[in-house]
Amino acid sequence: MRTSSDSTLPAYDALVLGAGIIGTSTALHLQQRGLSVCLVDWQAPGSGTSHGNAGLIERASVVPYSFPQSPLALLRYAANRQTDVHFQWRALPAMAGWLWRYWRESAPGPLEQAAQDMLPLIERCVTEHDALIQAAGLQNLVRAAGWIDIYREPAAFAAAAADARALAGRYGLQADVLDSAALAAREPALLPHARMAGGIHWLDPWTVSSPGKLVQGYADLFCRRGGTLIHADARSLRPNTSGGWQLATPDGDLQAAQAVIALGPDAPELFRPLGYALPLAHKRGYHLHFQPSPDAPPPRHPLCDSRAGFVLAPMEQGVRLTTGVELALPDAPINRIQLTRAERIARQYWPLGQAIEAEPWMGRRPCTPDMRPIISAAPRHPGLWFNFGHAHHGLTLGPASGRLLAEMMTGEPTFTHPAPYSAHRFL
C-alpha cells in the first residue's frame, strides 16, 4: 500500500464509496485483483437499501420489471388503488420525463433487448454469490430452494403457467407448475379456505435469511483479507492535484488513484455536482416483520403474490412482508397504505402472527428508465467509475456487477461486453 506525500493517511489504489451489496462486492473483486482498496460509508455495511429486500438471489428473473403497456392496466393504476404500485400525486410532475422514457423502453422490442442485455449478469448471479458465500463462511444464511409465485385467480395462473414454461424452455430454467393441491402440499400452512389457484415454484434462485448480515459478512471478508473500511461522508469526494481522487475524513484526506461511486439511491449527490445528468429515479419500498408462532409458522419458501406485488419471506427476524413500488418525492414521509393493503390480502391465505416492529422499514431502489444498471467509467473524469442503478436486483447482481467493473478497471477481459451498461447512453 502506498503512502501519500500530502496526508498522514495511507493512499490507496481505489476508493469504493458505498458499502451496500454493490460497493462491497466491487471492493472484494478489486482486492482479489491485487489493488489496495478502501471501502467508505457513513453507516455499517448492508444497513441501507441492501438490508431491506426480500432476500432473493433471482436467477429466474430474466425479464426486467417493466412499465405496463396495456391501456386497461394503465387505467387501473391511474386510480391509485392498487397494492403493487402506489404514487404520490405531487411527485408525478417531477418524475414525468423519467416515467415517459420508462414506458417507451418497456415496449416489446426495447424490453426484449433489455432482457438480452441483462442476461449475462443474471446468469452469473448465483455462481458469483456462491464464491463469496463459501469464502466468507456464510452458508448458514442461504438456501438453494427457490421461491414460489402464487396466484389467486385461475385465469392469471393459467397465463403465468404458460409464460413460465416458455421462459424455462428458452432460458434453461427449472420451474414446477403447481396446481392448488400441489401448492398446498409444498406450503402446508396455507389456509385451507384460501382457494388458491396455483403457483410457479422457481427452483434456480437462492434465498437469503438476512440480506443485511450477508453484506456485513462480505465486508468482514474484505477486511480479513486486508481491506480498509472507513466511516465517512462520501459527498466530500473531489479530484486531487496528482490526477487521482481524495475524500475528507475526520482524520485527514484519503487519497486514491481511482474512485467508484456505488451509493445506490444516493449516487446523484456525487455525480450531479460533477456535471452528469443521469436519469436515476427512486422506487420506494417497505417491509415489516411478523412473529411466527406454532399457529403461524414461516413459509417454507418466499411467496410472491404477483398481482398484489408483495413477498412473504422467511427471515431471521420473522416473516418479512415486503411491498411493491411507491413513487414519491424524496422527502415524503413513510406511507403505510401498501403495507396495510398487502397485510390484509396476505392474511386471507397465510396465518401471519403479530407485527414485530411498530414502524415499517422504508428503502429506495435506484432505477434507470431503460432497466439496465450503470456500470461504467465516468465519461469526463479519468479514474472515476460508476456502479449503481440496479433497481429491484441489487442483491441479485452485486457480485456479478462488482466483477464486471473490477475487470474493466484493471484492464482484464470482461466476462460480457460492458457497452449496454455504459453511462454514455444517457449523455
Task: List pLDDT tens digits, range 137-155.
Answer: 999 999 999 999 999 999 9
- Which among 367, 399, 414 is the end of a domain? 367
**Mean pLDDT, the chain, integer:** 95
Asked whether residue 125 is domain-assigned, the answer is no
Any idea of the CA torsion for 397, 57, 83, 103, to the nearest 10 degrees?
A: 30
Instruction: Identify the pLDDT of residue 5.
Output: 38
Instruction: Identify the pLDDT of residue 10.
Output: 74
Residue 342 has pLDDT above 90, yes or no: yes
Asked whether residue 143 is domain-assigned, the answer is yes
In this structure, are 191 and 167 located in the same domain? yes
- Which among 318, 344, 367 is the end of a domain? 367
In this structure, are 150 and 22 located in the same domain? no
Asked whether residue 24 is domain-assigned, the answer is yes
d(CA 414, CA 282): 29
Instruction: Identify the pLDDT of residue 3.
Output: 33
In this structure, are 200 and 340 located in the same domain? yes
Task: List pLDDT tens digits, range 72-122.
Answer: 999 999 999 999 999 999 999 999 999 999 999 999 999 999 999 999 999
d(CA 282, CA 277): 15
In this structure, are 74 and 222 located in the same domain? no
Residue 46 has pLDDT above 80, yes or no: yes
Q: Which CATH number goes with the domain that contains 21?
A: 3.50.50.60
In this structure, are 262 and 319 located in the same domain? no
In this structure, are 220 and 345 located in the same domain? no
Q: Which helix (H) or strand (E) holds 306?
A: none
Q: Which CATH number goes with the domain that contains 294?
A: 3.30.9.10
Asked whether residue 145 is domain-assigned, the answer is yes
In this structure, are 193 and 315 located in the same domain? yes
Q: Using CB atoms within 10 Å of the CB of residue 284, give its burial: 0 to 12 exposed, 13 to 18 middle, 19+ buried.
A: buried
Q: Which of 248, 235, 174, 245 is closest to 15 using CA atoms?
A: 245
Helices (H) and strands (E) in the chain, counts: 11, 21
Query: Secondary structure of the chain: what % helix, strand, coil (to 5)?
Result: 35, 25, 35
Close Cβ partners of 31 (under 8 Å, ≥ 6 residues apart): 37, 222, 225, 226, 227
In this structure, are 174 and 73 located in the same domain? yes
In this structure, are 194 and 302 located in the same domain? yes
In this structure, are 284 and 352 located in the same domain? yes
Range of the domain at 323: 63-109+133-208+280-367
Instruction: Identify the pLDDT of residue 8.
Output: 53
d(CA 187, CA 148): 10
- Which among 326, 349, 367 is the end of a domain? 367
Residue 202 has pLDDT above 90, yes or no: yes
Structure pTM? 0.95
Task: List pLDDT tens digits, range 238-291.
Answer: 999 889 999 999 889 999 999 999 999 999 999 999 999 999 999 999 999 999
In this structure, are 150 and 197 located in the same domain? yes
Asked whether residue 301 is domain-assigned, the answer is yes
Instruction: Identify the pLDDT of residue 263.
Output: 97
Asked whether residue 170 is domain-assigned, the answer is yes
In this structure, how many other beta carbons lie within 10 angstroms of the beta carbon of residue 246? 24
In this structure, are 147 and 185 located in the same domain? yes
State how many domains the chain has.
2
